[in-house]
Structure 1
Amino acid sequence: MKRLLSILAILISGCTSTSLVNNWKNPEIVIFDANKVLIVGMTANEEARVKFETKLQKEFDKRNIESFRSIDLFDVEFTSSEKSEEELSEVELQLLNKDFDAILFTKIIGSENKQSFKKRMSDTDRFFDTFSYDYLEHQSIYYENGYYDEYTVYQAETSLYCICFGKERQLIWRGNIEITDPVDIDKTVDDYVKLVVFALKEQDLIFRKKLANEITGL
């Protein structure tokens, strides 16, 4: 992990709005491949959500991995109100029955200066080992006004969950990423996606096979 963080620190220094501050991989997992992935960008900003999920989907398309955006699977009614644990379990079961084997879940969890953040910042250290618990804990991001206000540095988190049979929806990987002064949505999304893809490739998770003539921009 230290080697990965050192490499990323050099690559992103001074040329991007994002930085990886923490990186965890399930020690029981050496290599993880996925055939069908659900991409979830949890944010009330619809424009940012569409751009982010679409950009990530293109990365999967490059590698011939089937993926779906949550905006295409979760209707407005689903994300506009609070869901129960039973409802999330039903969603996971439906995904499993439709041959999904992974969820790549990204959310904004706070900011460096902690202005008007309604969740206790101590919660950011909590460990969510299943998608349903992670979603339930943060779902008000979608519909609650004032969940967070203007920040200088946003704290984001991307988690990779396996929803394979027998794996109990376990957490495979999690990365904590800081986003500094996100003025340009396109650039911020582009930087964030590049960082996530690079980190997953370094860990041999999904994005393992290097494409010929691939240009990462890092």
Structure 2
Amino acid sequence: MRTIAYYLLCSMLTLLMSCTSSDLVENWKNPDIDTFYAEKVLVIAMTNDVDNRKRFEKRLVNQLQSKGVKAIESDQFFDENYTQRPHTQEELDALENAMLQEGYDAILVSKIIGAEDRKSLLQSYEGFDTLFNSFEEDYYSNQKIYTEGEYADVYTVYHAESSLYCICPTKDREIIWRGSIDITQPDSTRKAIKDYINVLLWVLEEQKLLITSD
């Protein structure tokens, strides 16, 4: 028989999950790598929204630095006009060589890769997580279904991706890790950035990448 403590725990978990606008969808790690700790990592957010790019990079860099990672925002390495035009692979190879000369050995790239509108059915009755003690309570609370029905709510889901690349001088330049994170119905852009970074840092620590666990 399920106890009150069980239901309280379920309610707490549901509440915690509902407080974030970002969810991990996919998580891939190079099978040849167990742990990876960079000496110096460049943080890049790829977006044409300059303000949010700077906001994202600044917060992520600050969070990484608070965990002992030497992280640098892209503006501190790129010149102000670097993102104003496309670059060839040869130019990007030269960029990586320049990064090596500056002591970088990793790049953490984040970007929005797509968006889609989804439709949910919002109903004017008690939700699935509501516990009824009797049929009477259940029927009484939900009988509005017969008269009020349901309506559709359209919302946008943004598909984002972060990737960690090694540019170590003694190793092949390769991908270390990639994660896909969905951003759904954020209350604000600032909260979406905060939630995304929280998920990103949690995954990196779980995968023993960049962040050294205490």
TM-score, structure 2 as length reference:
0.72
In structure 2, give the amino acid aligned to 1:203: Q
User: What residue in structure 2 maps to residue 209 of structure 1?
Assistant: 213
Distance 1:76 1:28, change over 3 A: same
In structure 1, give the amino acid aligned to 2:200: V
Shift in Å, 1:11: 8.9
Shift in Å, 1:206: 1.1
Between 1:164-173 and 1:16-25, the stretch displaced more is 164-173
Shift in Å, 1:12: 5.9
Q: Which residue, 197, 200, 213 being the options, matches 1:196? A: 200
Distance 1:206 1:10, change over 3 A: farther
Shift in Å, 1:169: 1.7
Shift in Å, 1:10: 7.2
Q: Which residue, 9, 27, 32 being the options, matches 2:31? A: 27
In structure 2, give the amino acid aligned to 1:30: D
Contact 1:36–1:101 (Cα < 8 Å) also in 2: yes
Between 1:79-88 and 1:182-191, the stretch displaced more is 182-191
Q: 1:176 aligned to 2:180?
A: yes
Q: How does 1:108-119 map to 2 (within 5 A)?
A: 108-113=112-117
Q: Which consecutive unaligned segments of at least 5 residues does structure 2 have? A: 1-12, 119-154
Shift in Å, 1:76: 3.2
Equivalent residues, number: 166
Contact 1:12–1:18 (Cα < 8 Å) also in 2: no
* Alignment RMSD (CA, Å): 2.0
Q: Which consecutive unaligned segments of at least 5 residues does structure 1 have? A: 1-8, 115-150, 211-218
Q: What per-residue deviation string (whole Å, max 9, x for no partner) do you get for residues 111-147 of structure 1?
A: 1349xxxxxxxxxxxxxxxxxxxxxxxxxxxxxxxxx
Shift in Å, 1:96: 0.9
Q: 1:56 aligned to 2:60?
A: yes
User: What residue in structure 2 maps to residue 72 of structure 1?
Assistant: 76
Secondary structure at the aligned position of 2:170 is classed as: coil
Distance 1:99 1:11, change over 3 A: farther
Report % sequence identity. 42
Shift in Å, 1:27: 0.3
Q: Which residue, 161, 172, 189 being the options, matches 1:185? A: 189
Distance 1:11 1:202, change over 3 A: farther
User: What residue in structure 1 maps to residue 89 of structure 2?
Assistant: 85
Secondary structure at the aligned position of 1:53 is classed as: helix
Shift in Å, 1:72: 2.3
Contact 2:43–2:57 (Cα < 8 Å) also in 1: yes
Distance 1:12 1:166, change over 3 A: farther
Contact 2:164–2:177 (Cα < 8 Å) also in 1: yes
Larger fraction in strand? 2
Q: 1:42 aligned to 2:46?
A: yes
Distance (whole Å) between structure 1 residues aligned to residue 66 and residue 19 of structure 2:
24
Contact 1:12–1:19 (Cα < 8 Å) also in 2: no
Distance (whole Å) between structure 2 residues aligned to residue 170 and residue 72 of structure 1:
23
Contact 1:161–1:170 (Cα < 8 Å) also in 2: yes
Q: 1:166 aligned to 2:170?
A: yes
User: What residue in structure 2 maps to residue 100 of structure 1?
Assistant: 104
